[in-house]
Structure 1
């Protein structure tokens, strides 16, 4: 559980750096997934720093996934939005509303319930088709990103975010299926393709879509599906008689995270940001109106 929470802290801090770098990168000409966007973002030192935090968070996530049920780890990862919100309030001087501070407390309460109710990870023999199904979903995430470019802006943000969440969910399940280094195992390729596709779609969603919509989609995609797979196919269970507490804690933690969805991309610091940096993230595709000169009609 300590590793799961530490992973959440790493991901929450990384999102601050990565989102700022994604916005600072030169935008592409298309409306969907921009493959070159990640390379442009890599020129930003903040994106490199964020990737380093993501690497550490992923290592901690692997440890957590090997010892905890997926539903616990997934909820902890969604709670990274609470970490981002707190960092934004302290470092970027973003004013949190009362409901958002309440949501931070709700997320913590949900994680506490899960910590009490969760049992060990399951060891059920998985169907042979499950790794191949994961690989198919991973490639499906890439296809989803291509289709998203044809959708209206609001729907595009949701689909890109949801697709990124599915990709991260594939990674969560694949980590549980991998047993040693075996490159003939499709779960390895599902992990690589799913993780890469998730980063690509999420980076595109941060630059091209409404932050709240994209982040909410990602939270739902990376929590609900993997939790169901863990319970149904991998044998994840709760402590005896505490199933109700685990379900409640999971729902509470995810609901609190969705309330904090706007912190999927906090605003840039005041000395670097332009209009819109005083506590509310700019929606992509809605440029601030230029200032009028005195006397100009």
Structure 2
């Protein structure tokens, strides 16, 4: 759980830096997703710093995913928005209302309940169909994001954010499913390609959402996509279970953490509050 929370701290801080950088570049394309956008934002030092934090956060996330149920890790990652809110106050002098501080406290309380109720992690291997489905889901996410440019702004932002969340959810499930890191056996596991494609799709769609539309709406979609899907997969196919008799506490904690995170989605749009960057 410590590694999961440390990962959330990295992701939450990175989102502040990346939001500022993504809004500092021109779109350069009328499509919903612009692959060249990544090359432009990489020239921004804030984006590069955020990317480094994302890399560290991913390594910490991998450790957590190998030890905790997916629902626990997903809720912990959703708490990155609470970290974003705190970092925005510290770095950008953003004001946080009483209601938003209450949401931060709700996220923390939800995580505490999950930590108390989390049981032993289920199996790692999963059914073969689940391994093979991950690259397909990631590809659908990427194609759906590419078609989002034809939609209205608000719906486009929601679709890009939800797609990014699903892509990151694919990464969570894939990390759990990959049974060995031995070469060349790992290259025969389709979950590896699901991880690579899901990560790329999620990162591209999220970057496009940060730059193109309502980041608040996009962030809400991302939170839902990266928490609900993996939690369901873990419970239905991988045997993740809370401690006996504490199922209600785990469910309440999960709902509290996600709802609190959704209440803080405006902090995905902190770049709009910065002038001259």
**TM bucket normalised to smaller:** over 0.9
**1:23 corresponds to:** 23
- How has the CA–CA distance of structure 1 residues 219 and 271 changed in structure 2, closer, same or farther, with 3 Å as cutoff? closer
1:124 and 1:136 map into 2 onto residues whose CA distance is 20
**1:69 corresponds to:** 69
**How many residues are matched?**
273
Conserved 8 A contact 1:134-1:187: yes
Greater helix share, structure number: 2
Conserved 8 A contact 2:167-2:202: yes
**1:226 corresponds to:** 230
TM-score, normalised to structure 2, is 0.96
* Structure 2 residue corresponding to 1:266, chosen from 258, 261, 270: 270
Is 1:9 the counterpart of 2:9 in the alignment? yes
TM-score, normalised to structure 1, is 0.90
Conserved 8 A contact 1:31-1:208: no
Q: Unaligned 5+ residue runs, structure 1?
A: 274-297
Write the mapping of 1:111-130 to structure 2, written as runs, cut at 5 A. 111-123=111-123, 126-130=126-130
Is 1:35 the counterpart of 2:35 in the alignment? yes
- How has the CA–CA distance of structure 1 residues 135 and 58 changed in structure 2, closer, same or farther, with 3 Å as cutoff? same
- How has the CA–CA distance of structure 1 residues 155 and 42 changed in structure 2, closer, same or farther, with 3 Å as cutoff? same
* Structure 2 residue corresponding to 1:206, chosen from 205, 210, 224: 210
**1:175 corresponds to:** 175
Larger Rg: 1
Write the mapping of 1:56-135 to structure 2, written as runs, cut at 5 A. 56-123=56-123, 126-135=126-135
Q: Please list the CA deviations of residues 125-182 of structure 1 after superposition, one character each: whole Å capped at 9, or x if unmatched.
A: 5211111111100101111111211111110000000000000000000000002231
Q: Unaligned 5+ residue runs, structure 2?
A: none
Conserved 8 A contact 1:92-1:268: no
Tell me the C-alpha RMSD between the 2 structures.
1.2
TM-superposed deviation, 1:268? 6.0
2:263 and 2:124 map into 1 onto residues whose CA distance is 35
Moved over 6 A (4+): none
